[in-house]
Amino acid sequence: MSALPASLDARLAALLGDGWRTDPAERLTYGYDNSRREAMPDGVALPRDRDQVVELVRACRGFRVPIVARGRGTNTTGAAVPIAGGVVVSFERMDRILDIRPGDRCAVVEPGVINGDLQAALAPHGLFWPPDPTSAAFSTVGGNLACNAGGPRAVKYGASRDNVLALTAVTGAGELIVCGSATTKGATGYDLQRLLVGSEGTLALIVEATLRLTPKPTARRALRVIYRDVASAARGVARLMAQPVTPSMLEFMDTQAVRLARDVGGADLPTDAGALLMIEADGEPHMLDAAIAALAAAANGDGLVALDDAPDEAARGKLWAARKALSPALRTLAAGKINEDVVVPVSRIPELVDGVQAIARAASLPIVCFGHAGNGNLHVNILYAPGDASQCERADAALSQVFALTVSLGGTLSGEHGIGLAKRDFMPQAVAAPTLALMRQLKAAFDPDGILNPGKLLP
C-alpha cells in the first residue's frame, strides 16, 4: 500500500511504465543505505532519460511529495534513506557512458554509471577518473558526485568536486539546468556545478555529468614508514606535504590501529611501532626512482623506526597487509562501530589524535584512528557494544566531543562521507548561523517546495 495520491501514482505509472514500482517488497530494497538506517519509500522510480526525470519531479512537486535520489546506496550517512517517504529515484537505468574524449580529457556519463565500470572503460585510453572511494566497484558516479566522494588518491588528484567540468540537472522546481561546460577553465557566471557536488540530492537531481579525466600513471611504488609515535608520524606528514613531490597516497594508522593490526590482525609490525604511514608515488616508470627518493627523504626524521620500500607489486602487497588486516581486526574488537571521517589541517593531526585518545580514556571505549593523512582526513572509529546502553550513550557523547575537538582545531565534520542524517544535527557546531541561513536560502532557490531529500544535510 503506497501512501501516494492515486492520481500521482497513475501519472508516474503512465510516465515510467515498468520503471514505476510500488510493490512493498521492492520498495523496501530501496529504503536503506550503508548507514544501517532504513525507511519505506512510497514508490520507486527508475527513469530512462532526463525527460522522465523532469516530468516526475514536476508531478511530485504538484503534490509536494518528497524525492530522494539514489545511486547504489553505498552512502554511510543515511543521505539516501527516504525518511519522509515519497519517491526514491534510482538511476540504475541511466547508466550509459555517452562519450569518452581523450584529447579533451573528459567523459560524458549518465549518473547511474558504476565508478569501477567507468574506470574499466577509460583504461584503454590511458585515462582515469580520480575519485576512488572504497565503494568504487559498486557505487555510481552520480552518488560519488552527490556526496563529493574522495578516497586515498584525493591527496594528489582531488575529490569528486575537483574532477567535474559540467553537470546537467533537474532542480526541485522541475527545471532542467546546464551548469559549466566541457572546458577545463571557465569564468562565465556562477559556478553551479561545484555547488551541486556534495549537495546530497537536496538541490537538484544530476542527469548527466561531464567528468574531468587524468592520464593514468603507468607505474606506482609504495613506502611503509614506521614511527615511534603519532607526533613523529605527523611531523613526517607535514614534511611530505611541504616538498614538491606530492604522493599519490599518504595513509596513516595511529597507535591503536597499529596495535590492532599486529596483535589481532597478525600483521608483521615491530612492537615499538607507535604509528605508521603508507606512502605511494605514481608516474612514469623512469621518474619513480627519483620520486620515491624524495618522499623517503621527507619521511625520514626524528622518531623514525623503520622505512621499507616495495620495489614491485608483490612487495607492495606485503606492505599494505598491515592496513588490510585492520578492518577485520576492528570487527573482532566490538560489534558496534561509529566511523566518522573528520578533517583537520595536516599540522593539527597530532592534536586530533591525542585529543581523541583523551576522549577514549574518559569514555572507557577504544577509539581507533586511521585514514588519509595527506588531506588531514582521519577515520575515527569509536568501538562499543550495541547491546550495552551505557556504552551506547558514552559512544554518542564521545562522537560529539570528537566533532567539537575537530572544529576547535580548524577542521570540519566530514572530509568525504558527507552529512546526510548522521551529522545533520552537528552542522551548527561547524557552520556559523548566518552561513547556515544562507545555505537554507540557496536550497529554497533550487527547491522552492523543499521536496528534494528533505531532512538531510541542513539541520
Contacting residues for 7 by C-beta, under 8 A, at least 6 apart:
none
Instruction: Give whichever of 288 and 322 is closer to its own copies, judged by the CB atom.
Output: 288
Instruction: Give whichever of 43 and 420 is closer to its own copies, judged by the CB atom.
Output: 420
134-193: which residues touch its own copies (CB under 8 A)? 147-148, 150, 154-155, 159, 161-162, 171, 175-179, 181-192
Instruction: Give whichever of 10 and 98 is closer to its own copies, judged by the CB atom.
Output: 98
Is residue 301 involved in binding its own copies (CB under 8 A)?
no
Under 8 Å between Cβ of 328 and 265: yes
In the complex, the smallest distance separating the C-beta of residue 380 from its own copies, rounded to whole angstroms, is 15
In the complex, the smallest distance separating the C-beta of residue 36 from its own copies, rounded to whole angstroms, is 19
Instruction: Give whichever of 188 and 271 is closer to its own copies, judged by the CB atom.
Output: 188
Instruction: For residue 141, give the amino acid letter.
Output: V
3-state secondary structure of 372: strand
What gap in Å lies between CA 213 and CA 151, rounded to an integer? Answer: 16
326-355: which residues touch its own copies (CB under 8 A)? 343-347
Cell numbers representing residue 34 in the block:
550503508
Instruction: Give whichever of 199 and 391 is closer to its own copies, judged by the CB atom.
Output: 199
362-391: which residues touch its own copies (CB under 8 A)? 372, 374-377
Binding test (CB under 8 A) with its own copies, winner from 416, 451, 452, 453: 416
Instruction: Give whichever of 19 and 150 is closer to its own copies, judged by the CB atom.
Output: 150
31-70: which residues touch its own copies (CB under 8 A)? none
Q: What share of the chain is helix, strand, coil (3-state, %, to 5)?
A: 40, 25, 35
What gap in Å lies between CA 29 and CA 41, rounded to an integer? Answer: 10
What gap in Å lies between CA 254 and CA 272, rounded to an integer? Answer: 13
Cell numbers representing residue 455 in the block:
531532512
What gap in Å lies between CA 112 and CA 224, rounded to an integer? Answer: 37
In the complex, the smallest distance separating the C-beta of residue 182 from its own copies, rounded to whole angstroms, is 5
- In 110-218, which ranges are E strands? 127-128, 164-171, 176-180, 204-212, 214-215
In the complex, the smallest distance separating the C-beta of residue 424 from its own copies, rounded to whole angstroms, is 10
Q: Write the interaction track for its own copies spanning residues 74-113; mark x where CB under 8 A is met and - where it is not.
A: ---------------------------xxxxxx-------
- The CB density around residue 217, as the number of other CB atoms within 10 Å, is 17
Instruction: Give whichever of 151 and 265 is closer to its own copies, judged by the CB atom.
Output: 151
Binding test (CB under 8 A) with its own copies, winner from 7, 243, 332, 364: 243
Under 8 Å between Cβ of 6 and 65: no
In the complex, the smallest distance separating the C-beta of residue 411 from its own copies, rounded to whole angstroms, is 6
Which stretch, 14-22, 65-73, 285-293, 300-308, contacts its own copies (CB under 8 A)? 285-293
3-state secondary structure of 398: helix
Under 8 Å between Cβ of 19 and 91: no
Q: Compute the C-alpha angle 197/203/206, nearest 5°.
A: 60
Nearest residue to 224 via CA among 276, 271, 300: 276
Cell numbers representing residue 33 in the block:
543505505
- The CB density around residue 160, as the number of other CB atoms within 10 Å, is 28
Instruction: Give whichever of 182 and 333 is closer to its own copies, judged by the CB atom.
Output: 182
Evaluated on CA atoms 130, 133, 137, 143, the torsion sign reads negative
In the complex, the smallest distance separating the C-beta of residue 231 from its own copies, rounded to whole angstroms, is 13
- The CB density around residue 430, as the number of other CB atoms within 10 Å, is 19
By CB neighbour count within 10 A (0-12 exposed, 13-18 middle, 19+ buried), where does 157 fall? Answer: buried
Binding test (CB under 8 A) with its own copies, winner from 28, 97, 264, 442: 442
Binding test (CB under 8 A) with its own copies, winner from 22, 34, 246, 357: 246
Binding test (CB under 8 A) with its own copies, winner from 414, 421, 452, 455: 414
388-407: which residues touch its own copies (CB under 8 A)? none
Which stretch, 81-89, 247-255, 314-322, 416-424, contacts its own copies (CB under 8 A)? 416-424
By CB neighbour count within 10 A (0-12 exposed, 13-18 middle, 19+ buried), where does 138 fall? Answer: middle
In the complex, the smallest distance separating the C-beta of residue 121 from its own copies, rounded to whole angstroms, is 16
Binding test (CB under 8 A) with its own copies, winner from 71, 411, 454, 455: 411
Instruction: Give whichever of 52 and 375 is closer to its own copies, judged by the CB atom.
Output: 375
In the complex, the smallest distance separating the C-beta of residue 105 from its own copies, rounded to whole angstroms, is 6
